Structure 1
Amino acid sequence: MKKILYTLTCTAVLASSVMADFTRVEMGAGAWMQTPKGTATYTESGANGLYTSSEKEETSPYIWAAIKHPIPVLPNLRLEYVSLKDSGRASGQFKDFTITSASTTLSYDMKQYDIIPYYNILDNTAWITLDLGLDIKIINASYRAAPSAPFAGYSDSVIFPIPLLYARARVQIPSTDIGLEADIKYISTGNSTVYDARAKVDYTLGFFPVIKPAVEIGYRVQKIDINEDSIDAKLDIDFSGVYAGLMFRF
């Protein structure tokens, strides 16, 4: 977590110092209080494994940074990170292991890295901002089936990218330091749908001259529904809940 925050900070500072034409750098960090829900199944050659979430509330850290510049032909850049965890019951036969006890717990840690090049369609025009772009969501998921005699346990990890369309809209309330904002990352293909949507309100402490701190609070919903005939593992999981954090504008 500290390494990721340090990397994002260095990236923003270095970019703004090397290219003096940048008009704005923003970054933030906070916590997402969300409840995981859903299932994962594995079916191949008679195998039939099932994972079901215990639906316990989790608190997940998130970090983001955005760099906007005045060169029209080049996209701006937004980077995001969030770490999601869940645990639940597993049963049946999976690719490399077989659950032999009804009390076996399976847990996973899903780190998500979003790389978002985007274009600023409206930039506080009549107090409205509109961004459109592409999100490459890189998921690094590690999972572990806990030992439960006579099962010895199992652990593994997988990394895979998901491309999504990105849109963000913001309204700055006139004569105030209050902003209303929503964004969505979305793709739907075949029988699969993935989206990540947020809506928030933020308040900027405008009396600081150079670095303007702000607070943000909102609601976030994420859905990962992957159900393709060519893939043996099927996912139908979602995360939803309130998030809150601090922001800094340069």
Structure 2
Amino acid sequence: MKKVLYTLACGAVLTSSVMADFSRVEMGAGAWMQTPKGSASYTDGGADGLYTSSENDKTETYVWVLIKHPVPILPNLRLEYVTLEDSGLASGQFKDFNIDPAPYTTLSYDMKQYDIIPYYNILDNTSWITLDLGLDIKIVDASYTAAPSGSFTGYSDSVTFAVPLLYVRGRVEIPSTEIGIEADVKYITTGDSTVYDVRAKVDYTFDFTPAVQPALEVGYRVQKLDIDESSIDAKLDIDFSGFYAGVMLRF
């Protein structure tokens, strides 16, 4: 009977250890200090619409959640949210409005981005290395406003679309420390268009208790939207880049 109880106790400890390794929830939030740069144009049917970013520094809030479970056949899940804003000068004729005869007007826009990322662990802290592969569905909820100028009465509109991107994440835990180095890439290219979202960071975990572990993260992020397709009336070449910092919790 003692042997049976001992075996069951060992099994329970082992199962608990395995679940601790293969079940995890992480979440984080912080501020991304970035500078939008670039331009957009609309030339369909002889139109001559042009937008140029004013390249003003912005600070935007980001939030993310990672959910890892022990069922190998099902993908794990990462969710992200960030809002990007920009403003600049616009001129000429666009699809639904014409700024002329005023020479320029102010155009501002924001893009709320929701990233839904199912992924698989290829390596899970194997020799301190983690490697994830998956698919990112980036849902963009964009709205823009062209301010009144001269005889131009102004215009506003919104659009929602989804962009699929390949997702790769790599992480290295520095042995005998609470420091992690991590990078992830979301990328797609088709024809003359390329979209990518790249991050690299360092984080430090405060190992106060195994149940809840707070951490700090500092990194650099670059997002590029280069859209140039014959089937699309507008061309877009915008990037957002800058440092970010935030707090994390691991469960």
1:181 has 2:182 as partner: yes
Aligned residues, how many? Answer: 232
Deviation at 1:248, TM superposition (A): 0.4
Please name the residue that 1:127 is paired with: 128
Separation in 2, partners of 1:151, 1:222: 33
User: Any idea what SS the aligned residue of 1:70 has?
Assistant: coil
Say whether the 8 Å CA contact 1:77–1:115 is kept in structure 2. yes
AA aligned to 1:193 is T
Letter in 1 for 2:64: W
Work out whether 1:63 is the aligned partner of 2:51. Answer: no
Larger Cα-atom Rg: 2
Q: What residue in structure 2 maps to residue 27 of structure 1?
A: 27
> Conserved in 2, the CA contact under 8 Å of 1:22 and 1:67?
no
Instruction: State the secondary structure of the residue aligned to 1:109.
Output: strand
Does the CA contact (< 8 Å) of 1:21 and 1:69 recur in 2?
Answer: no
Q: 2:55 aligns to what SS in structure 1? A: coil
Matches of 1:21 and 1:152, distance apart in 2: 60
Q: Which residue of 2 aligns with 1:218?
A: 219
My pick for the range that moved more, 197-206 or 99-108, is: 99-108
Q: What is the Cα deviation at residue 22 of structure 1?
A: 6.8
Which amino acid in 2 is paired with 1:151? F
Matches within 5 A, 1:1-250: 23-100=23-100, 101-250=102-251
RMSD: 1.4
Counterpart CA distance in 1 for 2:160 and 2:194 is: 18
Q: CA deviation at 1:132?
A: 0.2
1:152-176: per-residue Cα shift (whole Å, max 9, x none)?
0000001110000000000000011
State the AA in 2 paired with 1:134.
L
Secondary structure of 1:45 counterpart: helix
Identity %: 75
Deviation per CA, 1:44-72, whole angstroms, max 9, x where unpaired?
A: 11111000000011001100001001111
TM-score under structure 2 length normalisation: 0.90
8 A Cα contact 1:42 1:50, kept in partner: yes
Paired amino acid for 2:38: G
1:21 CA displacement: 11
| Counterpart-to-counterpart distance in 2, 1:155 and 1:138 | 20
Runs of at least 5 residues in structure 2 that lack an aligned partner in the other structure: 1-19
Can you list the C-alpha shifts for 1:202-238, whole angstroms capped at 9, x where unaligned? 0000113311110000000000001000100111000
Partner-residue secondary structure (3-state), 2:123: strand
Q: Deviations over 1:82-129 (max 9, x none)?
A: 000000000000011111323410000111000000000000000000
In structure 1, distance between residues paired with 2:161 and 2:23: 33
